[in-house]
């Protein structure tokens, strides 16, 4: 008689080998490609799967180079720098046009809280490439006349028209997200269906992680952890973009007064916004949108943000804030709740 005890673990072994075979089969079917480095004043980490090894480093570098030439305020000969110096004859490229038009849309939707003409104030408060100055109420008021996206337009000939030549563009609150969108378009053009692209903490995910046969899992930082990093939340990200904004890392302290100034600037008042919102994460169909709205939500009051989210079905958000008693609270839309990894 066959000794059945010798084979009592056979079903488990079959499952184990099946899983092992399936995993190796997927690894053989898909090749993981990685690209990482520094660009746009930050770092990037790109993961993409293909049928054969595929090195897209030159194409990736090209996307960043075109972005810098068009939209970097830190490069003197970029298109945006020339426009900021008063050049009204320059014909802007497709990237500039797309970022300008989306900025116009978000500016309108947020009732002015998203405004890339805030560049003069960004410099004045010490968060841009321009000269930092000592500000008081009268100086802030004088600079506000150079702020307002309603004061600029894109002509039919693809030139930028400004009501005042001193208006200074700063697309940093949307350009990083837009760069990831351009990288995603490039991946799509190469027939890549599974990727996770990250630039400076902003993300675009498409498809799944083929090796694990699961959705991409990404983390959201805890804004109250200053030293190092600690995750507040893990979510599944599939065919979506994600961007976060917060004042917990980007701020400066005045050496003479010790006063802390955060990088979020309210374009309506002209002052830095050190409010009760600690961190915002936005999910959207494009990373440029997510980036722009995440920045806007940091300047807006929470009740205004909730109202906007209620009226916009393409956006999802997770917000960490302090209540009136100084206690940490969380708000998340239904769409985010569905994606949380328990």
pLDDT tens digits for 153-167?
999 999 999 999 999
User: H/E element holding 234?
Assistant: strand 231-237
How much is the average pLDDT of 308-330? 93
Q: Are strands 194-199 and 202-206 parallel, antiparallel or unpaired?
A: antiparallel
Lowest mean pLDDT among 75-84, 257-266, 329-338: 257-266
Q: How many CB atoms lie within 10 A of CB 179?
A: 29
Beta-strand runs (E) in 108-228: 152-154, 160-162, 194-199, 202-206, 216-221
pLDDT at 254 over 50: no
β pairing state of 31-39 and 231-237: unpaired
What is the rounded average pLDDT of the residues 182-211?
96
- The CATH class of 49-337 is alpha beta
Backbone angles phi, psi at 172, to 5 degrees: -60, -25
The confidence score (pLDDT) of residue 228 equals: 67
First-to-final CA distance of the chain: 49
CB of 125 closer than 8 Å to CB of 265: yes
pLDDT at 265: 79
The pLDDT assigned to 237 comes to 95
- Stretch 227-243: mean pLDDT: 89
Neighbours of 138 (CB within 10 A): 8
pLDDT confidence tier of residue 13, bands split at 50, 70 and 90 = very low
8 A C-beta contact, residue 149 and residue 117:
yes
What pLDDT score was predicted for residue 130? 58
Residue 11 has pLDDT above 70, yes or no: no
Averaged pLDDT, 56-65: 98
Q: 3-state class of 304 per DSSP?
A: helix
Do residues 172 and 199 make contact, with C-beta atoms less than 8 angstroms apart?
no
Average pLDDT over residues 100-111: 97
Chain centre to alpha carbon of residue 193: 21
φ and ψ of 257, to 5 deg: -105, -20
User: Would the pLDDT of 205 be above 80?
Assistant: yes
Q: pLDDT band at residue 263, thresholds of 50, 70 and 90?
A: low
Q: Enter the pTM of the model.
A: 0.84
Q: CA-CA distance, 68 to 66, in Å (whole number)? A: 5
Cβ count near 38 (within 10 Å): 9
Average pLDDT over residues 66-78: 95
């Amino acid at each position: 008689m066959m000794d059945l005890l010798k084979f009592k673990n056979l079903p488990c072994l079959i499952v184990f080998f099946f899983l092992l075979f399936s995993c190796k089969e997927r690894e053989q079917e898909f090749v993981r490609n990685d690209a990482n480095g520094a660009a746009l004043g930050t770092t990037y980490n790109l993961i993409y799967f293909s049928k054969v090894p595929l090195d897209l480093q030159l194409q990736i570098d090209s996307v960043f180079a075109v972005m810098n030439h068009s939209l970097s305020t830190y490069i003197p000969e970029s298109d945006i720098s020339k426009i900021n110096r008063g050049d009204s004859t320059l014909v802007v490229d497709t990237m500039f046009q797309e970022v300008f038009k989306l900025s116009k849309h978000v500016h309108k939707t947020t009732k002015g809280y998203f405004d890339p003409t805030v560049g003069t104030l960004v410099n004045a408060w010490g968060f841009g490439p321009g000269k930092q100055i000592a500000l008081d109420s009268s100086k802030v008021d004088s600079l506000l006349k150079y702020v307002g996206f309603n004061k600029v337009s894109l002509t039919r000939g693809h030139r930028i028209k400004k009501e005042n030549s001193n208006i200074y563009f700063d697309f940093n609150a949307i350009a990083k997200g837009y760069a990831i969108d351009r990288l995603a378009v490039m991946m799509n053009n190469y027939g890549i269906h599974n990727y996770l692209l990250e630039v400076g903490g902003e993300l675009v995910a498409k498809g799944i992680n083929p090796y694990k046969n699961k959705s991409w899992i990404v983390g959201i930082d805890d804004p109250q952890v200053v030293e190092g990093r600690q995750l507040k939340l893990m979510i599944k990200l599939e065919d979506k973009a994600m961007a976060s904004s917060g004042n917990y890392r980007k701020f400066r302290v005045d050496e003479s007064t010790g006063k802390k100034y955060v990088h979020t600037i309210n374009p309506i008042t002209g002052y830095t916004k050190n409010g009760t919102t600690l961190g915002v994460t936005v999910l959207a169909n494009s990373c440029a949108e997510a980036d722009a709205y995440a920045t806007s939500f940091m300047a807006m009051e929470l009740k205004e943000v909730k109202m906007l989210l209620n009226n916009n079905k393409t956006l999802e958000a997770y917000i960490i804030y302090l209540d009136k008693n100084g206690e940490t609270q969380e708000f998340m839309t239904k769409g985010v709740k569905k994606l949380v990894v328990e």
